[in-house]
Each structure stands twice: as C-alpha cells, then as structure tokens.
Structure 1
C-alpha cells in the first residue's frame, strides 16, 4: 500500500480503508447460517469495558440433559455392614434438586444397610429410582425410635419410575420383629412394626421388576396415590410371619397390578378405605391370606371402596381366596367388585364375604354395617381345603345385595349363605341353599 502524506492524502487513505473493510465484511460468513443474521449461539458475548476485549460467558439457561446420581458417589459403602443412611440422604438431596431428567441410582452387586429413611419431594426433574442392588434394613429396633411405622418412604413425587432391574431387592430383615410380635408370642405386648416400603402421595407412578422380602410388617404400602402401575413384582415372606401383607392399598385411585407373584404371612393384596378403580391381573398368590377387600369400618368408621376388578389369578394353599371383610358398627359401601378367571388350589375359604368381622377379644352385635353390593364371581374353579367353599355371612339389617355367581365350580365344600341376595348364572357349584 502507498504511503500517505499531507492532510488531503491522509484523509483519502482513511476513506479508502473504510470502504475496503465494508466490502470485505460483506463477504465474510457470520457463522450463524441464517440469512437474516439472527444470533443463535449457546454463549453470550460480553464486552469488557476496561480493556475493550470481547469475552465469552456461559449461558445460564437450564439444561435438558439427563443425569444419574449414584449413592456410591456420596460415600455409600455397600458392604452390608456399614450404615449407609447418611450417604443415601446426601445423594437424594442432590438428585431431587437437579435440573434435567434425573436418575437416583443404587448400584448392582452391593448390599446397603439402612436405618429408617425418608425420600421426600417434590423434586425438580427426578424421574427414575433404580434399585439395582440390595437394600437391607437395620435389625436394631432402636434405629426406628423416631418412626416405628416405616422403614423406607417415598413421598410427594410425580411421574416417578421405581425399577428393580434384574437383581434389585428390598430386604426388611423382619425376623427380629416377628419374634417380638404378640401374634407369635402372646406374652409380648402388641407393638408397631415398620412397613418396608411406603409409597405416599405419588401421582403417575410406575413400579416394576422389584423384589421385596421379609418385611418387618407390611411389605409395600401404596397410600393416597393416583395413576399407579405395578408390574412384575415378587414378594416373599414365611407363611407364619405376622401382618406381612404383600401389597396394601389405601386411599388410592386408578391402580393396576399385573404379572406379580406374592407369597407372605398375611393378605397377598389388601384393599382398604378410599380405594377406587383397582385392577389386578395375572396374580400368583400363596402362601398368605388371599386377596382381601378390607377390613372396612373398624371403630365405627365410614369406609368406601369401589371399582375393584381381579381378572386372572391363581391362589394356592392360602387361608382365604377372594374375601370382603367389614366390621360391625361401620358404615359406607363396598361396591362394583368383580372377581373372574381365578383358579383356587386347596384354599381354605375360597369365596367369602364377612360383614361381621371382628378381631377383638369381645365382639357385640351392632346396628350398622358397611353395605356390600354389586359383586360378581365369574369363572372361578378349584378346590376347597375346608367343608365350606362359599360363605356369605352378611348383616341382617344391611344384607349383601346384587351378588352374582357365574360359572363357579369349587369342589370339596358346601355353601353357607346368610342375609344375601344371590343370582346364579351358568353352572354353579356349590349353590346357596
């Protein structure tokens, strides 16, 4: 470039340089790939006024990326001996407060010893609770002094999936509690024992591939939940373990339980007050006390259950088959219930409605009862282990209404029917007198 000298020459040189820069800039690709020149970078450009230098600052916009929070990264040993409770609480705090789709991970191949632990929401974006290892309950009863009713609780979380993978286990180590139960040793006082896994106030919940065993008392309790899907769950405990209901449902709406195997010391599935639209499919039950609606109306309470449908089940060597039990003195309704496509194998009380249920030392006849109506038993076959295969023990003042037996064939026992309106369809044996 020629050297500029003199005022006029300098002015002309500056003008020439500016014109060249504008022409050059028009041919430079701005890097955005948009004809309108709109800015879509993931970074913000900031001018540093002190030295007139352009610097880049990371965007503060929330990420949509997924992340996994493992308890191992927060000090959990997983050796089955070290108390990992605090490590789990720290990991939970992180997982619950993280933006983006988050997984709370309990790694495979280890056993984590835990005291009573509460996993509380609401959480920002937690979507998965993966139990791939074993959770083992502390056997020290003093570790439950702050909460004698619960071991593990998940509460106030929406859109959550609880997945046991191929090896996940929840082990309540309940033997120490069973030994001290008044139902096992009548010299012992009747005291509370923890539920192994409580799912409370959850909406849009999926539970799958979970293994729960030897709960201190109830194995899984689903309470005050809505839109629940439980699939491929296996629950085990000795047949003489007290109060170890498999799945306990309370005040829960729109729940489906399918492809599950439950053998325990109490009801395989128990359905209590406030539950609506309960769908049970492809269930294997035994040992245990069968599938129970109730007990309802204890201590003169009002109770309401409706829309229960059991479709496809095999019950083997259980104390009861399909049962509805209500206390005298209660009120409310148990209605719109259907038991169908069920096989009974050596079951003591295959079909039973008991409106006079009482578990107290002294029971007196009372005026009120929970009304039972619109109950259908369809395609139920098998054998009774007692001489009564069908028992309807209904209230004199509030008799059972709308009871239908359709294609029922239970061998080995008779029917005992009191204060009940029964309609037979197809082949029915035994029949109410």
Structure 2
C-alpha cells in the first residue's frame, strides 16, 4: 500500500511539473487606462474588441517563440558570397530561400563586409527561421540601383516566429544620399525632398525578435517596424551624424505589442518615432542623443485620421537633443493619441524638453488654420528632471478647436542649462499637476 501511494505521489509531481514548464504567457492587468484588444481572424485582419482595462501580455521566456532543438544552418558563403566589394545579392537570396523553406538559421560570417543592392527577404517561412548577422552588410553605393524602389534597401516581409541577432552591423552607406537631400544643404529646414531608402524594414511580421545589432548611416530611417504584431527589440546601437537628414533611429508604424528595450540611439532625427496605427508600445531604458528626441507623430498629415494608444516611455536619458519627449500633429487631422506615459526621464541640455505641438508644419508653404485636430488626451509626465538649453522648457501648443485634455504632470523639474530661469507656455491645454512642477504654466 505504501509503495502504491509513493508511486501515485511521484506521478502527480511529474504531471504538475510538465504543466508548469509549458506555460508561456502571463497577462498582467493594469487598471489605469482603457485598451482596445485585437485578435486575428482567418484572413489575417485584426478585429477590435472592447476591454476596460490596460492589459499587457508578457512572456515568461521570450525564447519560447523559437525552437530549442538544434537547427540547420546555412552560410551566405556557401552560396557564393564573396565579400570582395562586388554585389552579393544573388548569394544572399539563395541562402535565404534555403533557410526560409527549411526553418534554418542564415549566417552572415563575422569579420567580413558584404555589399548588397536592394533586397527583400520574403516569407512566409518555416517556423523559427533566423538571420544571424555577425559581420557587416553595407548598402550598394550607386543610387541608380534603387530606381525601381527608392524607399527601401533591406526588407523582411511577412515572416513569423523569426529573429535577427548576432552583433553585426547594417551600414546604410548614406552619405551620398544625404548630400543629395535639399534638407542637408538647408540645415534640415522644410523643403521638397526626393525619397530616400529606409535601411531595414520589417513589414507584416509577427512574433519577431530583433536583438544585439548595430545600425549606422542609413540613407533615411534606420529600422522600421510596419504592420507588425508582437515584437521584441533589444540592445540596438544606432548611429548617424547629427546633421544627417531624416535618419530616425527606430520608427514604429501600424504596429501592435512592441517592446523596445535598452537601445542607444544617436542620429539626425527622432531617436524613436511612433506614428498612426501603433498600440501597446513600450520603450524602456533608452539612451538618446544627438537627435530630435522621442516623438509620437507626426499625426494627421493631409487631413488624415490617426490612432495611437497605450504608449509607455520609461527610463530614458536624453542629451543634447533638439526635443525631449514630443507629440506632434498637423492641423486638419482627426482621430486620437491617448493613454501615453512619459516616466523617469533625465534631460541634459535639451532644447525643448517637454513639448506638444498641434501646429506642426514641416513643409515649405505656410500651413492654413484648420478647425479640426487629432485629439490628445490622457498623457502623463512623471518624474522628468534635468536641464533645458532654451528658456521655454515646457511647451503645450494645443489646438484651439480641439484642446488637449487630461494632461497630468507629477514631479517635473526642468532648470536652465546655463543659469537663469525657465518658463512654460501652455495654450489650450487642460492639465493637472501634482508634486513638484517647474516651470509652471501661467494661471488659466
């Protein structure tokens, strides 16, 4: 009898351990704000359902997205890549087709520089396909190679359960493109510029990991996530000169459930930019500078409708940037940007540390007065401290027709970089402040 009980007990412990080890998701409920959830249907669309709590899905182990079993590997060298200054497009394409069709790891060897003309790595692929970049991929320098598509260099399209990793470098080789930009010779002022390629674009990808990589000198934006779902980004280093035009570091568009963790970005434009269609975005432990800061927008251009919600920027350090945390919208747009949190941010010598600009106008002709605007609401600024390079440290320039509402400030202290004082300008904004708040808005 005793032996039978012992066997039953051991069996129960074994079954319980299997159950515990195979759990992969935890839902952490937060009741501060509302969130719209999206679920897949059979044709790939996202159907919106209403929930009255802010829920963010996290994984107990993000590597469970990818197989723990040993995978086959293919090197681009096995398919004829030479890394001798000639175009290795054909070898990369053949290696990709092999890896994608079998769920293998494509390897780009270290200590070698491979040059590529524009290329698209298309899915769908077998699950757990991976792209391990140990060396450097450099963009083809002749602009004529981009005549068919002047907006992209490398594209990963429609790939799921996929990771890009390895510690290597994507080099956009962008100097020639910048020198041909009217913004380059016009000190980044508005002008009618020609399209330039984004260095790396992830389009319509799901369950995606992008880790431990360097991006440098992109022709325009460095890395874009567009129409992606469930993305984890970490340990990226992004570099371009301060005067390089429109070289955003990380750009998020129409993407849901994306975490951007521990990234160091210094470019000629926004370190991180988040635009319409993006929901459940977290940027944590971000170092930014030089550049234009961390921005939501621009939104509502050409009278368009914009939707951005549930954005958290937590623990960021910005040094010498032209803006700190910014929301920018065009007049005439519609829609909303809401449930946005800027928390635990350190500013040093930042020209516009806290700014909402609903009169954004990045064009040569003056923008006409409009009676419509993207509605901005439920925005929290908490524990933001540091120094401003300009007298106006806080600028809320909100729409007369659609004022900013439910703006919360708590422990925001922005002092002058070189002595003197700082001021705040607060137009058409309904705000609440708690704790320390300097400089304060004038009484309304």
Give the TM-score normalised by structure 1: 0.83
The corresponding residue for 1:33 is none
**Alpha carbons 1:289, 1:319 under 8 Å: kept:** yes
**Alpha carbons 1:96, 1:126 under 8 Å: kept:** no
The CA distance in 2 between the partners of 1:190 and 1:207, in whole Å, is: 30
Provide Cα deviations, 1:339-390, integer angstroms capped at 9, x if missing partner.
Answer: 0100000000000001111112221100100000000000000000001000
The corresponding residue for 1:321 is 324
The corresponding residue for 2:219 is 216
Deviation at 1:102, TM superposition (A): 1.2
The corresponding residue for 2:306 is 303
The corresponding residue for 1:88 is 92
The CA distance in 1 between the partners of 2:141 and 2:86, in whole Å, is: 13
Task: Indicate whether 1:420 and 2:429 are aligned.
Answer: yes
- Aligned counterpart in structure 2 of residue 105 of structure 1, from 104, 107, 112: 107
The CA distance in 1 between the partners of 2:95 and 2:202, in whole Å, is: 19
Taking a change above 3 Å as real, the CA distance of residues 163 and 65 of structure 1, as seen in their structure-2 partners, is closer
The corresponding residue for 2:172 is 172
- Aligned counterpart in structure 1 of residue 200 of structure 2, from 155, 180, 197: 197
Over 3 Å off, 4+ runs: 186-189
Alignment of 1:26-425 (within 5 A): 66-79=71-84, 81-98=85-102, 101-165=103-167, 168-185=168-185, 190-360=193-363, 361-412=365-416, 413-425=422-434
The CA distance in 1 between the partners of 2:216 and 2:156, in whole Å, is: 18
Taking a change above 3 Å as real, the CA distance of residues 186 and 354 of structure 1, as seen in their structure-2 partners, is closer
Provide Cα deviations, 1:286-332, integer angstroms capped at 9, x if missing partner.
Answer: 00000000000000000000000001000000000000000000000
The corresponding residue for 1:4 is none
**Alpha carbons 1:95, 1:126 under 8 Å: kept:** no
Deviation at 1:267, TM superposition (A): 0.2
**Alpha carbons 2:320, 2:351 under 8 Å: kept:** yes
Task: Indicate whether 1:430 and 2:439 are aligned.
Answer: yes
Taking a change above 3 Å as real, the CA distance of residues 65 and 291 of structure 1, as seen in their structure-2 partners, is closer
The CA distance in 1 between the partners of 2:262 and 2:185, in whole Å, is: 35
Which secondary structure does the structure 2 equivalent of 1:260 belong to?
A: strand
Which secondary structure does the structure 2 equivalent of 1:356 belong to?
A: coil
Give the TM-score normalised by structure 2: 0.81
The CA distance in 2 between the partners of 1:185 and 1:383, in whole Å, is: 30
Deviation at 1:185, TM superposition (A): 2.8
Which secondary structure does the structure 2 equivalent of 1:72 belong to?
A: helix
Deviation at 1:281, TM superposition (A): 0.4
Deviation at 1:273, TM superposition (A): 0.3
Which piece of structure 1 moves more, 120-129 or 181-190? 181-190
Q: Which of these two proteins has the greater Rg computed from alpha carbons?
A: 1
Deviation at 1:93, TM superposition (A): 1.1
**Alpha carbons 1:181, 1:189 under 8 Å: kept:** no
The CA distance in 1 between the partners of 2:321 and 2:404, in whole Å, is: 24
**Alpha carbons 2:100, 2:129 under 8 Å: kept:** no
Deviation at 1:189, TM superposition (A): 6.1
Which secondary structure does the structure 2 equivalent of 1:210 belong to?
A: strand
Stretches of structure 1 that go unaligned for 5 or more consecutive residues are 1-63
